Amino acid sequence: MADTNNRTRRWVVLGGIAAIGAGFAIREYRLIPQDYSGDQLDVAKAHQKAVAGDILLVDIRTPREWRATGIGQGAQPLDMRREDFVQALAQLTDGNTSAPVALICARGVRSARLSNQLTKAGFTNVIDVPEGMLGSAAGPGWVRAGLPVEAFSEGT
């Protein structure tokens, strides 16, 4: 009986370790940005070009994230989870799929993935901001760089 209990305990422990390992693997995968072969900008240049009107800077995060940190000055919030995201972006560019569009998210993971998707959808001048709002291996990010942010309100 004791031998059966030990085996059962061992399987429970091994199963728990496997589940934890799988969870970490999935988390790490989700934090690794896809390779994006298009243009990239650091946050300072993205801010400068957005304020000057040289690019359309699109903050693709969620409203919860916008409320937490604000939206970078010069950026247009557009939740990437919208089913009509591509159409909404096309509307922001007046249908010009060659307009320079820079994407920023929290840490550069979602922006890299979406940059690839938009390129496949026919946008020809997509620029990734890999630092994101919160920083990544690419740099400190918008917030820590001290760049100006504007409060998000539901009417934005």
DSSP letters of 53-65?
TSSEEEE-S-HHH
Tell which residue, 126, 138, 136, 131, has the closest CA to residue 47: 131
CATH superfamily of 39-150: Rhodanese-like domain (3.40.250.10)
- Mean pLDDT of all residues in the chain? 86
Confidence at residue 38, expressed as pLDDT on a 0 to 100 scale = 78
What are the extents of the domains in the chain? 1-31, 39-150
Q: Which two tokens stand for residue 18?
A: 């496997």
Summarised one tens digit per residue, pLDDT across range 32-60 is: 555 666 789 999 999 999 999 999 999 99
Summarised one tens digit per residue, pLDDT across range 67-77 is: 999 999 999 99
Q: Where does the pLDDT of residue 28 fall: very low under 50, low under 70, confident under 90, or very high at 90 and above? A: very low
Summarised one tens digit per residue, pLDDT across range 81-97 is: 999 999 999 999 999 99
Confidence at residue 20, expressed as pLDDT on a 0 to 100 scale = 60
Could you give the percent of the chain with pLDDT greater than 90? 69
The string of DSSP codes covering 54-110 is: SSEEEE-S-HHHHHHH-EETTEEE--TT-TTHHHHHHHHTTT-TTS-EEEE-SSSHH
The contacts of residue 136 (CB under 8 Å, 6+ apart) are 33, 107, 108, 109, 130
Q: Where does the pLDDT of residue 105 fall: very low under 50, low under 70, confident under 90, or very high at 90 and above? A: very high
The string of DSSP codes covering 111-154 is: HHHHHHHHHHTT-S-EEE-TTTTT-BTTBSHHHHTT--EE---T
